[in-house]
Chain A
Amino acid sequence: MSDILLTIDGKEVHAKPETTVLDAARSAGIFIPTLCHHEKLEPYGGCRLCTVEVESRGRINYFASCLFPVERNLVVRTRTEKVDKIRKVILELLLAHAPDSPQLVALAEEYGAKADRFDKESSFCVLCGLCVRYCAEVKKKNAIAFVDQGPRREINFIPEIASKECWNCKECFPLCPTSYLQAAYLLTEALAFPSSLKSESGSR
């Protein structure tokens, strides 16, 4: 299969078919910010920080570059007024939950996002899904679930599984952009792990 030629920020980039615009950009040394993306996981398209401007067949659109497949003659712009505005607002929306998240704070400066634009929200989870997806796709234990919908969406540790698997694993902890994951784990452990295991583990 022949390479596909597209343009990213004025630079000609060659990519294999079925490559995402994000991967194509990275291979050409062009940086696009991400939050919910991880090389070991299927692209998710939840945070939308990687949104780029895409021009194809005379039309301009905005797509999440982690999901959008390369196309011949695609013209991609990773920084435009609208793209920057999108990223700024996304950051401001997320900072309302997790104002201390290092990833968010670092990007906020670049995009002029104000951490106090929106009032503080009670939950500091940003629902990037890295924990849920890592546990499902890499560890294949499915110890964490997304529950509920819309603004009420949350992540929950499943006590029956987490009590057996998590203590010796915790590989998802460093993935969390906020401190929510560890807090959620400890809370679940305290409240919902089967009491038999709690007494066994003693020191915890």
Chain B
Amino acid sequence: MARINSAAELEEVRKSIATKKDPNKPCVAICGGIGCLGGRENLIHAFEEEVKKQKLEGKADVRVTGCHGFCAQGPNIIIYPEEICYVKVQPEDASEIVSQTLIGKKVVDRLVYTDPNTGKKAVHQSEIPYYKKQTRNLLGTNPKIDPRSIDDYLAIGGYSALAKGLLQMGPEQVLEEVKKANLRGRGGGGFPAGLKWETARNAKAEIKYVICNGHEGEPGAYMDRAIFQGNPHLIIEGLIIGGYAVGARQGFIYTRHDMPRLRENIDLALKKAEEYGFLGRNILGSGFDFQIEVHLDVGIFVSGEASALMRSIEGKAPEPRPKYTRTAVKGIWERPSNLNNVETWANVPQIISKGSEWYAGIGTERSKGTKMVSLSGNIVNTGVVEVPFGTSLKEIVYDIGGGIPNGKKLKGVHFGAAMGGTLPAELIDTPLDFDVLSKLGAAIGAGGLFVMDEDTSMVSMSRFFLDFLANESCGKCVPCREGIRQMLRIFTRMSEGKGKEGDIETLEELCEVGSLASLCALGKTTSSPIRSGLRFFRREYEASIKPTKRTA
């Protein structure tokens, strides 16, 4: 494949790909997400074998895609072109699916989704309530493309935003669009991306960096993996556009070490992007050079923290640096480094191609666009969903999530895992919004929504979160390290019903000091779940304090 050197050449390539594609060619799109395959390849092999056995080789495709999002009903496959969805598919079903649906064009009824509440069957995504209520601007592409095929990405319009940005807009104009769109960071900070980009752009330095944080260490958050594995070019395109806007010629992708398929897809995408001319020198004839380097995470949460991550790219232990040395000004090797989360970068191409006005039309006044949310805990439909900001939590948990299993009542909805907070059931009508949730002490974090039913013990959850933080804290500063140590001692007592008088007051003081004096966000937010718990579920904590003879 020769390098593409102009917008016109790009359109030529796109046209030629389109003519080679047969929209009616049968295709089995298998969800290759870890939740569906569980590290096994036998489902894929089964279909590949059956296609061969039933003499469809060359006449039907078996495509392993990224996450479809409907993890609770996995393994998921979709048969194109009819877009028939089959759920809970096993390798033994391959033979019937190939003969009945691919060849016979008939639906295999027993593998079709059945709504547990109504008993209704739904063959197409548009009929399944789970999907119906979502706005899958990002995730919707996953089932339709092979993440290992750059041609598939080009066929759906990929890299047109890059062409527009590089060739029709100057870097300042690109930056303005992102500012006007009010794209806010999706990794947990919620900070306006455009402003961060502007700080990096304005920093006086010859060499700057843009970084994609794909660490996704927040427990229960697995949407970044879904989009990155399913559509790596989307994030790469966003990163290149960001580099252009900021004035960086080098990008870093920081990703997980424990997912081989994800790593392979990213490596292959980078290779192809380079081959086609979207990376390297003089991209699309614009005069802009850009390279991307991949770094792997090493299995610790704090390395997802921006300044700690940068220490890790520098090859040092990831100890966070205080925020007043803004990393956008002095990041990796003291150079301006603009870091954003995978989902944030994934939003960039659509902002450039469809415009900031279109983007700002989705969401609420100060939270724009859609948000991917990964549902987990006591909920019927665990999985990755995508909704516009402003959607009520009630709709997410009940209409999309299918409600609470086993007839239990909802107790609370938790965001931000060990650094977040819980909203009680009474607040279920709260809209998904950065600021609204933040004010209630349950900031959205990375978007992992954890549902707790009536049997959940808040004391036990607080203890659990502290255990997590004890394993992830770097240990450099006293308020965090020693604070966690002492809070754990208290919670161990409390979870055995042996809390001492004064324990809650001590917790509150440790929380206050930790939130004010810790070095980084991890230390500062260790107190969040506890404070949130005390705010809405105080009586439960008080009940675990052993009454003294005086109060008994």
Q: In the complex, are there CB atoms of A and B closer than 8 Å?
A: yes
List chain A positions with a Cβ less than 8 A from chain B.
45-49, 51, 62-64, 67-69, 82, 85-86, 89-90, 93-94, 96, 117-119, 121, 126-127, 146, 148-153
User: What's the least CB distance linking A64 to chain B, in Å?
Assistant: 7
B472/A150 in contact, CB under 8 A: yes
Residues of chain B within 8 A of A68, CB atoms compared: 322, 324
What are 19 A-B residue pairs whose CB atoms fall within 8 Å in the complex?
A45-B322, A46-B476, A46-B519, A67-B322, A67-B324, A68-B322, A86-B479, A89-B510, A90-B479, A93-B486, A94-B482, A96-B486, A118-B489, A119-B489, A127-B481, A149-B300, A150-B470, A151-B475, A152-B475
- From A48, A96, A149, B518 is in contact (CB under 8 Å) with A48
A86–B513 Cα distance when bound, in Å, is 5
Residues of chain A within 8 A of B472, CB atoms compared: 149-150
The 8 closest A-B CB pairs, nearest first, are A153-B475, A93-B482, A150-B473, A89-B513, A62-B516, A150-B475, A151-B485, A48-B517
- From B300, B324, B482, B485, A63 is in contact (CB under 8 Å) with B324
Residues of chain A within 8 A of B513, CB atoms compared: 85-86, 89-90
Closest A residue to B300 by beta carbon equals: A149
Given A64-B322, A150-B481, does the pair A86, B486 have CB atoms closer than 8 Å? no
B168 at the interface (CB under 8 A from A): no
B461 at the interface (CB under 8 A from A): no
Closest B residue to A62 by beta carbon equals: B516
A86–B483 Cα distance when bound, in Å, is 12
User: What's the least CB distance linking B536 to chain A, in Å?
Assistant: 25
Residues of chain A within 8 A of B518, CB atoms compared: 48
B473/A46 in contact, CB under 8 A: no
User: What's the least CB distance linking B158 to chain A, in Å?
Assistant: 41
B519/A45 in contact, CB under 8 A: yes
Given A150-B470, A150-B484, does the pair A51, B517 have CB atoms closer than 8 Å? yes
User: What's the least CB distance linking A17 to chain B, in Å?
Assistant: 14
B477/A151 in contact, CB under 8 A: no
> From residue 497 to 527 of chain B, which have CB atoms closer than 8 A to chain A?
506, 509-510, 512-513, 516-519
B543 at the interface (CB under 8 A from A): no
B103 at the interface (CB under 8 A from A): no
User: What's the least CB distance linking A40 to chain B, in Å?
Assistant: 20
B474/A150 in contact, CB under 8 A: yes
A51–B518 Cα distance when bound, in Å, is 10
- From B483, B484, B509, B517, A62 is in contact (CB under 8 Å) with B517
A49–B199 Cα distance when bound, in Å, is 31
Residues of chain A within 8 A of B510, CB atoms compared: 89
B322/A149 in contact, CB under 8 A: no
A149/B473 in contact, CB under 8 A: yes
Given A93-B483, A119-B489, does the pair A46, B478 have CB atoms closer than 8 Å? yes
B471 at the interface (CB under 8 A from A): yes
Given A85-B512, A89-B513, A90-B513, does the pair A151, B519 have CB atoms closer than 8 Å? no
A45/B477 in contact, CB under 8 A: yes
A69–B478 Cα distance when bound, in Å, is 21
Chain B interface helix/strand/loop/mixed: helix
A48/B324 in contact, CB under 8 A: no
User: What's the least CB distance linking B511 to chain A, in Å?
Assistant: 10
Per-residue contact bits, chain B 536-549, to A (CB 8 Å; 1 contact, 0 not): 00000000000000
Q: Which of B300, B471, B481, B510 has the most CB of A within 10 A?
A: B481
> From residue 316 to 348 of chain B, which have CB atoms closer than 8 A to chain A?
317, 322, 324
User: What's the least CB distance linking A42 to chain B, in Å?
Assistant: 12
Per-residue contact bits, chain B 458-478, to A (CB 8 Å; 1 contact, 0 not): 000000000001111111111
A93/B478 in contact, CB under 8 A: yes
- From A51, A118, A152, B486 is in contact (CB under 8 Å) with A118
Residues of chain A within 8 A of B517, CB atoms compared: 48, 51, 62, 64, 86, 90
Residues of chain B within 8 A of A150, CB atoms compared: 469-475, 481, 484
- From A45, A82, A86, A153, B481 is in contact (CB under 8 Å) with A153
Q: Which of A47, A146, A149 has the most CB of B within 10 A?
A: A149
A51–B519 Cα distance when bound, in Å, is 10
Residues of chain B within 8 A of A69, CB atoms compared: 324
A126–B474 Cα distance when bound, in Å, is 15
- From A47, A85, A96, A126, B509 is in contact (CB under 8 Å) with A85
A127–B484 Cα distance when bound, in Å, is 15
A2–B473 Cα distance when bound, in Å, is 40
Q: Which of B485, B489, B516, B518 has the most CB of A within 10 A?
A: B516
User: What's the least CB distance linking B280 to chain A, in Å?
Assistant: 38
A94/B478 in contact, CB under 8 A: yes
Residues of chain A within 8 A of B317, CB atoms compared: 146
User: What's the least CB distance linking A189 to chain B, in Å?
Assistant: 25
Residues of chain B within 8 A of A85, CB atoms compared: 509, 512-513
Residues of chain B within 8 A of A146, CB atoms compared: 317
A64–B524 Cα distance when bound, in Å, is 14
A64–B481 Cα distance when bound, in Å, is 16
Given contact pairs A89-B513, A127-B475, a sample of 20 additional A-B residue pairs in the complex whose CB atoms are under 8 Å apart: A46-B519, A48-B479, A64-B519, A85-B513, A86-B517, A89-B479, A90-B479, A93-B483, A121-B485, A127-B481, A148-B475, A149-B300, A150-B469, A150-B484, A151-B481, A151-B482, A151-B488, A153-B475, A153-B476, A153-B481
A146–B475 Cα distance when bound, in Å, is 10
Residues of chain A within 8 A of B509, CB atoms compared: 85, 89
Residues of chain A within 8 A of B516, CB atoms compared: 51, 62, 82, 86
Given A67-B322, A151-B484, does the pair A47, B478 have CB atoms closer than 8 Å? yes
A46–B300 Cα distance when bound, in Å, is 20
User: What's the least CB distance linking B494 to chain A, in Å?
Assistant: 15
B322/A151 in contact, CB under 8 A: no
A146–B324 Cα distance when bound, in Å, is 25
Residues of chain A within 8 A of B506, CB atoms compared: 117
User: What's the least CB distance linking B199 to chain A, in Å?
Assistant: 15
User: What's the least CB distance linking A79 to chain B, in Å?
Assistant: 15
A68–B321 Cα distance when bound, in Å, is 11
Closest B residue to A154 by beta carbon equals: B475
User: What's the least CB distance linking A158 to chain B, in Å?
Assistant: 16
A69–B489 Cα distance when bound, in Å, is 36
User: What's the least CB distance linking A112 to chain B, in Å?
Assistant: 13
Closest B residue to A71 by beta carbon equals: B324
Q: Which of A82, A121, A150 has the most CB of B within 10 A?
A: A150
Residues of chain B within 8 A of A117, CB atoms compared: 506
A69–B512 Cα distance when bound, in Å, is 24
User: What's the least CB distance linking B388 to chain A, in Å?
Assistant: 31
Residues of chain A within 8 A of B324, CB atoms compared: 63, 67-69
User: What's the least CB distance linking A24 to chain B, in Å?
Assistant: 15
User: What's the least CB distance linking B315 to chain A, in Å?
Assistant: 15
A82–B512 Cα distance when bound, in Å, is 9
Given A89-B510, A93-B483, does the pair A149, B475 have CB atoms closer than 8 Å? yes
- From B474, B477, B488, B519, A149 is in contact (CB under 8 Å) with B474
